Structure 1
Amino acid sequence: MRPFLGVLLGMLALPAMAASPQLDKLTLPKGFHIAVYSDAVPNAREIALGAKGTVFVGSNDAGKVYALTDSNGSGKADKVRVIATGLQLPVGVAFRNGDLYVSAVSKIVVLRDIENHLDDPPKPEVVYDKFPTETHHGWKFIAFGPDGKLYVPIGAPCNICDKGKDYAKLTRMNADGSGLEDVAYGIRNTVGFTWRPGNNELWFTDNGRDMMGDDIPNDELNRLTRVGEHFGYPYCHQGDTLDPEFGKGKNCKDYTAPVLKLGPHVAALGLRFYEGSQFPANYKGALFIAQHGSWNRTRKSGYRVMSVRFNGDKVASYDTFIDGFQQDEKSWGRPVDVQPLPDGSLLISDDLAGAVYRVTYSP
């Protein structure tokens, strides 16, 4: 195995050494507060909410999936259960009709009626097992769309390569695993997508390629307007930059440009629209984005949570919401996903500190 590839695969597949949450180092807008919801979720990744208030968290910690419960309404999980073990990088979780769907690289499995069996979880049942087996961009954020279908990405199995329409795309299937179809192409590695309330448009982050320098390309915020749309990878990056190898003879105008450039190498991951009423009114309809942070940049970028506000379909602002997960080029935390709760607070997962945080607002 080539040295760089070995290092990269290790970075992708191996659990990070957990750091302790250092919330005193974080900065938030005036009136916002952040607290630990649970610090017992090693390598916490995607968050999904159950119908009875359970917070499900995928991870890349020994193949475990977690269930967090706040039984007394304190705003902090008082019980953390492991509800599945031995799965391959089960970072993605999605809840539907009482069942929890979990991604496991080449498979999607389901835990049936899980909220009624948190103390005696059922054996994972395979829903689909024909996704590629590569682990390079092989772990999967998953989510059910307004159409009732499960959306599953297939990342590029490389930093930069052209595998046609077999990789670098977003797919969807029925809840029983049937009817798999392609939705969009030219997506290097999306680890976050969601649907905008009101019009059900799909929005997603995409991580740009490496080894083109510190400042190119940007990660992307994209919006899907039609099935079959192509977002450029590996030919065009950030909507306006041809790839030095695969861009020859191509034109960026032939691909869908991002709605917003999110910054170079920030590793933009989970994102959700905010529809709650606890935060100030100007956050209604805003999009929160977790930025996991760079790993190969001269100076670190990302390591924060951003907010995007809109004027219709146009971006009105792109601001830092939470900062301070790294100082002086040393990081203690790496945000992965964001998930609003029914009470209007916001959960944030952190795979480096092995924690989930809860953000509240009180003037």
Structure 2
Amino acid sequence: MKYLMSSVAALALASLAHAQTPAVPDNLEKLSNFQSTGTTEFTMIEQKGEYADGIKKNLERIELPPGFKIALYAVVPDARHMAVGPQGIVTFVGTRKDKVWAVTDRNKDRVADEVKDFAPSLTFSIPNGPCFSKDGFLYIAEQNRVLLFPAAEFFYESPDVAAFNLIKQGELIPPEHESFNHTARVCKVGPDGKVYISLGQPFNVAPAESLDEFAKWGIGGIIRINTDGTGREVYTRGIRNSVGHDFHPETGELWFTDNQVDGMGDDIPPGEINRQTAAGQNFGHPWYGGGSVRTVEYEGQEVPVEAVMPAAEMDAHAADLGMTFYTGGMFPEKYRNAIFSAQHGSWNRTTPVGARVMVTFVDEEGKTTSEPFAHGWIDENGEYLGRPADVAQLRDGSLLVSDDLAGAIYRIWYEGS
């Protein structure tokens, strides 16, 4: 404990040099100085009752491959992207609102016992993207800020937690480019120890007059920074709105989902899972709306970049979001290093599609084959019973699936003979 506190204190002194205006007056500065804010109450989420029973009833219709099971893990309002703590103590769950939830399975029966808000003395703004470093530092990517929480698995039991600015408010993107559209950031710590953060551009098709400014900031791309917030660079370009990425367990290459352009019809352009093999590669937006389908706005123009085509094309408008490579030992061997990804479901397709978990198998040459893994959240009337948003792996090798429509997290495990 003494070593932990001294290490975090050293980080506090370094971070205070960069600390700026907090979301709640004085609270971020107080937390950076290990001072109490006076906050004493949590918002606790009931885990039993009629609401939970209704979710469990809907799960009876979910189809999985033989030997797999699914059950309600936790009731979590607006559940989006998840970060499982390296010690396996708690899972942090982001939202597109103003809460981050801490989900704890205290008796290790693989069902959460407690769901409460994390760091309630802070006001978050679209804290969609939590991610962990291997040494237990939690990063939360908001709409226009990135916060750092050292030893989050230790401090989360208290309303006051050690918290610092990594990228201060208004410096992730210029404030004039803040939008209500495509603001769900995600982050992952890469094998190089850097933090990778996606920055969706706010338009259906990015306008020509914005391209230079967007390229400068990495809007419509993925940036990476050092874990102290320095060394910012644009790593990925030509993305419309990526809301999920992970690194191949063997090659270390970045793979990511991307959402295609709307308004081009029910069946085009395709959704994407992309593979990046070198820094600075461009994946074609806004000249391509998805796959090799050209956008109307840029049709006929010469594409001024060497565009990388998707590694996997997914159903149009299925809205591919969070993804993770499977590295656990529970599932059959064929799933090792496969991609599990959440399709949120279409919002404007004549016949809804998506609302499922996909699995994409990647061979040694990087070629892919995708198929549904868990599906059934669209009923026979075309009504959504759930909308998966992210997939994460627990230490036992089972998968968690978040659902921001139902306000829930599901657990999928294997019981095959």
Same-fold call, TM cutoff 0.5: yes
CA distance in 2, matches of 1:285, 1:111: 29
How far residue 281 of structure 1 moved from its aligned partner, in angstroms, is: 1.4
Larger fraction in strand: 1
How do 1:235-314 residues align onto structure 2 when only pairs under 5 Å count?
235-251=287-303, 254-314=306-366
Shift of 1:251: 4.2
* Closer/same/farther in 2, CA of residues 135 and 178 from structure 1, 3 Å limit: farther
How big is the shift at 1:81? 2.1
Q: Unaligned 5+ residue runs, structure 2? A: 1-50
Identity %: 38
- The AA in structure 2 aligned to 1:101 is Y
Distance 2:304 2:231 in 1: 32
**Distance across 2 between alignment mates of 1:256 and 1:263:** 19
What per-residue deviation string (whole Å, max 9, x for no partner) do you get for residues 107-157 of structure 1?
001222211112214164211020223232122011111111111111111
User: Which residue is 2:395 aligned to?
Assistant: 342
Query: 1:311, CA displacement in angstroms?
Result: 2.2
Alignment check: 8 A CA contact 1:241 1:252 kept? no
Aligned letter for 1:93? P
Q: In terms of mean alpha carbon deviation, does 75-84 or 199-208 score higher?
A: 75-84
Does the CA contact (< 8 Å) of 2:141 and 2:147 recur in 1?
A: yes
Bigger relative CO (Cα 8 Å, ≥ 6 apart): 1
Give the conservation status (yes or no) of the 8 Å contact 2:388–2:401: yes
Give the secondary-structure state (helix, strand or coil) at the position aligned to 1:336: strand
Q: Residue 81 of structure 1 contacts residue 118 of structure 1 at CA under 8 Å; is this kept in 2?
A: no
Runs of 4+, deviation exceeding 3 Å = 251-254
Contact 2:312 2:369 survives alignment (8 Å): no
**Corresponding residue to 1:31 among 56, 63, 67:** 67
Deviation at 1:317, TM superposition (A): 2.6
Change (3 A) 1:117 1:259: same
- Does residue 359 (structure 1) correspond to residue 412 (structure 2)? The answer is yes
Q: How many residues align?
A: 344
Q: CA RMSD in A?
A: 1.7
Query: Does structure 2 conserve the Cα–Cα contact (< 8 Å) formed by 1:240 and 1:252?
Result: no
TM-score, with structure 1 as normaliser: 0.91
State the secondary structure of the residue aligned to 1:34: strand
- Give the CA deviation at 1:59: 1.1
- CA deviation vs aligned residue, 1:89-118 (integer Å, no higher than 9, x gap): 101001123321111111001222211112
Is 23-32 or 121-130 further displaced after alignment? 121-130
Tell me if the contact between 1:137 and 1:156 (Cα under 8 Å) persists in the aligned partners: yes
SS in 1 for 2:60: helix
Q: State the match for 1:55 in structure 2.
A: 91
1:134 aligns with 2:174: no
Worse-matched range after superposition: 96-105 or 180-189:
96-105
Task: Provide the C-alpha distance between the structure 2 equivalents of 1:51 and 1:205, rounded to a whole number of angstroms.
Answer: 24
Aligned AA for 2:262? D
Cα distance in 1 between the residues matched to 2:96 and 2:368: 36
For structure 1, the 5+ residue unaligned runs are: 1-17
Could you say which residue in structure 2 is the equivalent of 1:8?
A: none
* Aligned equivalent of 2:142: 104
Does residue 147 in structure 1 map to residue 196 in structure 2? no
Shift of 1:253: 8.6
- Tell me which moved more, 73-82 or 193-202: 73-82
Measure the CA separation in 1 of the matches of 2:240 and 2:369.
Answer: 25
CA contact (8 A) 2:247 2:254 kept: yes
Secondary structure at the aligned position of 1:98 is classed as coil
**Secondary structure in structure 2 of the residue aligned to 1:115:** helix
Alignment CA distance shift 1:296-1:50 (3 Å): same
1:125 alignment partner, one of 164, 185, 188: 164
Equivalent position to 1:68, from 75, 83, 103: 103
Higher Cα Rg, which structure: 2
Q: Name the SS for the 2:352 alignment partner.
A: coil
Q: Helix, strand or coil for the counterpart of 1:116?
A: helix
